Structure 1
Amino acid sequence: MDMRYLKDRYVNPYTDFGFKKLFGTEINKDLLISFINSLLHGKEVVKDLTYLNTEHLGTGESDRKAVFDVYCENENGEKILVEMQRGEQQFFKDRSLYYATFPIREQGQKGEWNYRLKAVYVIGILNFKFDKVHDNYYHHEVQLLDVETKDVFYDKLTFIYLEMPKFNKSEDELNGMFEKWLFVLRNLSRLMERPKALQERIFTRLFETAEIAKFTKVEYDAYEESLKVYRDWKNTIDTAELKGEKKGFKKGHKEGLEKGEKIGIEKGEKRKAIETALEMKADNEPIAKIMKYTKLTEEEINQLCESGVKREL
């Protein structure tokens, strides 16, 4: 393999190839188990995982097909979807809910069945921000709640969203496996060596798996193609954002000029009214007439006369 032009040492996990290389293969399922357990903070311990078919059709031929990045179940039969969301979609929350229906519906049984379901987890690793209000809140865990009591109504359907652009902790600030995993996902493709803070055995395995120099020729070619797709997509998004910023600037600039012009006109009109009022008062014109021609109030006219100077109210 010719590595002369290769700049990155580790695979980019935001590419299709990179994500599935790290989390979507049987040989590396220990990486996925560690990552999922770090998300659940000990509430659910996954000891083993079985990978399931990532392509699913609905119950009828006309139903749309869903293609998951990683789909698996733990030793208790609970279903876990893991998706890498590279860019914000208009109905991204709807998409998450739609995807969750597949592992729910496929649990249906023919004949007698009491409708008891296994838990379903939908994990979204987001390369964008969807919560514009809370800048430091990047770990969302969503369940069905009773609006009045705020109690969990149904604890077998959980959506976990990680807003990766909001996670900006440095290596020295990392606390626990959860933050270490987020740091790896956020920075892996930019690292040239393994950080000292990531000394756990699982990260030894991860960095060995992610090292591009150890790829076979077939793997390297597949990664290069996946990386090209990712870069093209990112360039498209960046270009659209730049155009949006320029459009917003022009709109804001225009609105600012219009607002400034309006304020200037209003100030000019008020100044002219004051000058007219003072001249009419000097000519002993009645207050009612001054009010009619200047649109000033009687109080404003009296204040002008008392001050004896031309000033802006």
Structure 2
Amino acid sequence: MRFISPKVDYAFKKIFGSEQSKEILISFLNAIIYAGEPVIKSLTIINPYNPGQVLSLKDTYLDVKAVLADGSIVVIEMQIASMAAFNKRVAYNLAKSYSNQLVKGEDYPLLNPAIAVTITDFILFTETEAVINKFRFKEETENFECIGGELRLIFVELPKFKKTLSELNSLTDKWIYFLKEAAILEEIPNSLGEVSEIKLALNLASQANMTVEEFEVIDRRGMILQDEKGRITYAEEQGRIKEAIALVMRQLKKRFGEIPAAISPKIEDLSLSELETLTEDIFDFNSLDDLLSWLETSR
């Protein structure tokens, strides 16, 4: 048995946003938002996944949206690769979901809370090792709340999750493991299968339960997303290389004055790791001859 990756937005929508996904989504949201406590009892999935629409899907369709029993709106999104102003886009989508509840002339008391749950396959917050981070409006100095839980941002960073199957202790652990590792499973593990909602999610993710067309579309979408992620990673790497080259050239100029033109191409050919090493080794050089010797031995 093989499973599609929930990291692919089409697959994520199928698993968590189908007509039969209500119990799956309730369990998942309770795990992520409420640490496994059964706070959410019921919800309605808005604009559910429809296999017949998969060929013409737009990005906004791929968000999973639900209205909880108390009227709260939840928008859940899977993002495989970073992008410019990503945090602003998440904030914009949350604000839009909140404000779109009202039509012109309606009263503000009709507004219900809105929550954005964003799962990323990249590191977003380097300041913490926490896998789940939750945000709401609070006073900067004394930390008291301004609008309560009216607007909440919740992020799940999959690369930070390191637990193995045998280390899964909570419902939250099991759902995050499912998101991160489902595509490499060959069967439903007992520790996941004992949660009926995760077992159902794995059945929805099973390649055997898909039409050929549906699988091909999801597979193709996965390749497109991986290519996009690769381009972003390459662009980021190239940006870091340019910064490292500029730093090395500034250090050399400060230490030895004008640098001969013949040396510049040799430095530009260095990898990022070599450039980072050079920024440290420069302080051991007594002359440009030492630099040239270093460049010869580094290749």
TM-score where L is the length of structure 2? 0.73
Unmatched segments (≥5 aa) in structure 2: 49-58, 258-281, 288-299
Q: Which residue of 1 aligns with 2:206?
A: 211
**1:10 counterpart SS class:** coil
Match of 1:221 among 216, 222, 226: 216
CA 1:241–1:107 in 2, change beyond 3 Å: closer, same or farther? closer
| Maintained 8 Å contact 1:88/1:128 | yes
CA 1:147–1:267 in 2, change beyond 3 Å: closer, same or farther? same
Q: What percentage of aligned pairs have identical amino acids?
A: 27
| Maintained 8 Å contact 1:68/1:81 | no
Q: Which residue of 1 aligns with 2:187?
A: 193
The code of the aligned residue for 1:200 comes to V
More displaced stretch, 165-174 vs 230-239:
230-239
CA 1:120–1:254 in 2, change beyond 3 Å: closer, same or farther? same
Match of 1:37 among 30, 37, 56: 30
Q: Which residue of 1 aligns with 2:12?
A: 19
The code of the aligned residue for 1:38 comes to A
Shift of 1:189: 1.3
Query: Which deviations, in whole Å up to 9, do the C-alpha atoms of 1:136-192 show, x marking residues without a partner?
Result: 122111000012221222222111011111111222222200111111111111222
| Maintained 8 Å contact 2:66/2:75 | yes
Query: Which deviations, in whole Å up to 9, do the C-alpha atoms of 1:262-304 show, x marking residues without a partner?
Result: 8879989xxxxxxxxxxxxxxxxxxxxxxxxxxxxxxxxxxxx
**2:152 counterpart SS class:** strand
Q: What is the aligned-residue RMSD (CA, Å)?
A: 3.0
| Maintained 8 Å contact 2:36/2:170 | no
**1:115 counterpart SS class:** helix
Query: Which deviations, in whole Å up to 9, do the C-alpha atoms of 1:193-230 show, x marking residues without a partner?
Result: 32342232222212211111231122122222222322
**Are 1:93 and 2:93 matched, yes or no?**
no
| Maintained 8 Å contact 2:124/2:157 | yes
Q: Whole-Å Cα distance in 1 between the matches of residues 130 and 62 of structure 2?
A: 26
CA 1:266–1:161 in 2, change beyond 3 Å: closer, same or farther? closer
The code of the aligned residue for 2:168 comes to L
Q: Whole-Å Cα distance in 2 between the matches of residues 87 and 42 of structure 1?
A: 27
- Structure having the higher helix fraction is 2
More displaced stretch, 206-215 vs 41-50:
41-50
CA 1:243–1:215 in 2, change beyond 3 Å: closer, same or farther? same
Shift of 1:241: 3.5
More displaced stretch, 215-224 vs 176-185:
215-224
Q: Whole-Å Cα distance in 2 between the matches of residues 158 and 264 of structure 1?
A: 49
Shift of 1:232: 2.1
Matched pairs, number: 250
Q: Whole-Å Cα distance in 2 between the matches of residues 266 and 216 of structure 1?
A: 65
**Are 1:129 and 2:123 matched, yes or no?**
yes
The code of the aligned residue for 1:105 comes to S
The code of the aligned residue for 1:48 comes to S
**1:83 counterpart SS class:** strand
The code of the aligned residue for 1:10 comes to F
Q: Which residue of 2 aligns with 1:239?
A: 234
Q: Which residue of 2 aligns with 1:295?
A: none
More displaced stretch, 121-130 vs 108-117:
108-117
Query: Which deviations, in whole Å up to 9, do the C-alpha atoms of 1:7-45 show, x marking residues without a partner?
Result: x92101121221111111111222111110101226772
CA 1:11–1:253 in 2, change beyond 3 Å: closer, same or farther? same
Q: Which residue of 2 aligns with 1:287?
A: none
